A and B are shown apart, each in its own frame.
Chain A
Amino acid sequence: MKELSLNILDISKNSVKAGATLTEILLDETDSVLTLTIRDNGCGMKKEMVASVTDPFTTTRTTRSVGMGIPLLKLAAEMTGGSFEIKSKHESEYPDNHGTVVTAVFNKNHIDFTPLGDIPSSITTLIQGSPDTDFLFKHTLTSGQVGVDTRELRKTLGDVPLDTFEVILWIEEYLKEQYEALK
């Protein structure tokens, strides 16, 4: 992906597809390292599946249920001399605490580091696409923090759905303003 934000969008959709009611998208940034964590409480994956999702061929041919998102994110991280890890607990073995955690570490100063891109737009697109599930987005930078939690928004909105046009516009503006304030 030309921008990491598109990759984040792609991976987070897997979480929604896995039936997650909450997907956390966490970005932790220092001057030299960016750590991306996507954690969900979806159905999780069995050991064999976890081992195979980074292999692009298990995900391409006939059953494109996962897509190339994971292999490409792994490649993007490793190209910067960073690392990639995926951990999962399947609901059959962990009925109470199942889910998947994807962690990618990037060396920001490497020439092949992919810029983050338009995060407010990607996070908003994600919320708009799955308004019935919850998302927690938190971006921690050296200058401060940016974030949104749809569980909090719901409290304020009451019965108004998250994908209401005005709400979606507001979320994107809200994130943009937070980034502006850190500049």
Chain B
Amino acid sequence: MTVNDLLKVEGFSSVVLCEADREIQGVYIGDLLSWVMGRAKSGDAWITIMSNVNTLAVATLADTSCIILAEGVSLDEGVKETAQAKGINVISTPLSSYSAALKLYSVLKL
């Protein structure tokens, strides 16, 4: 499933879309950035509530397929611009991290 396919699923909407055909190969959930940095895998959709510029840097380092901001968290304008400039997919959902993960489980069929 690609990031673009996920955006067709109810509850997930695009915040910054740079690489729509990026394949989602797994899921990681975490909010402590230093922890996520060493554990999220390349291609993971990363569910978090952290939305600062460091979040983007960690997504770049871990090479995640997209950041999924849970609980309706949004990006500040400046952070959004950085995400665009760095080519990072950011998706938003009103769901909790747990509910978002359940939904991903049902649609990803990993």
Where the two chains meet, the residues of A that have a C-beta atom closer than 8 Å to any C-beta of B are 1-2, 6, 55-57, 60-61, 68, 71-72, 75
List, in ascending order, chain A residues with CB within 8 A of B58's CB.
56, 68
Residue of B32, B34, B37, B86 ringed by the most chain A CB atoms within 10 A: B34
- The complex places the Cα of A61 from the Cα of B79 at a distance, in Å, of 17
Q: Are A56 and B57 in contact (CB under 8 A)?
A: yes
List, in ascending order, chain B residues with CB within 8 A of A2's CB.
32, 34-35
Tell yes or no: B102 within 8 A of A by CB. Answer: no
- Which of B32, B52, B61 is the one whose CB lies under 8 Å from A60? B61
- Which of B32, B35, B60 is the one whose CB lies under 8 Å from A61? B60
Q: Are A68 and B86 in contact (CB under 8 A)?
A: no
Q: Are B53 and A56 in contact (CB under 8 A)?
A: yes
List, in ascending order, chain B residues with CB within 8 A of A56's CB.
53-54, 56-58
Residue of A nearest to B34 (CB): A1
- The complex places the Cα of A68 from the Cα of B60 at a distance, in Å, of 12
11 interchain pairs, CB-CB under 8 A:
A2-B34, A2-B35, A56-B57, A56-B58, A57-B60, A60-B61, A68-B37, A68-B54, A68-B57, A71-B57, A72-B54
Where the two chains meet, the residues of B that have a C-beta atom closer than 8 Å to any C-beta of A are 32-35, 37, 52-54, 56-58, 60-61, 82, 86
List, in ascending order, chain A residues with CB within 8 A of B33's CB.
68, 72, 75
Q: How many Å from the CB of A177 to the closest CB on chain B?
A: 30
Q: Are B54 and A71 in contact (CB under 8 A)?
A: yes
Q: How many Å from the CB of A62 to the closest CB on chain B?
A: 12
- The complex places the Cα of A68 from the Cα of B58 at a distance, in Å, of 9
List, in ascending order, chain B residues with CB within 8 A of A68's CB.
33-34, 37, 54, 57-58, 61
List, in ascending order, chain B residues with CB within 8 A of A57's CB.
53, 56-57, 60, 82, 86
- The complex places the Cα of A46 from the Cα of B37 at a distance, in Å, of 28
The 5 A-B residue pairs with the shortest CB-CB distance, nearest first, are: A56-B57, A1-B34, A56-B54, A71-B54, A60-B57
Known: A1-B34, A60-B61. 7 other contacts (CB 8 A): A1-B32, A2-B32, A2-B35, A60-B57, A61-B60, A71-B53, A75-B54
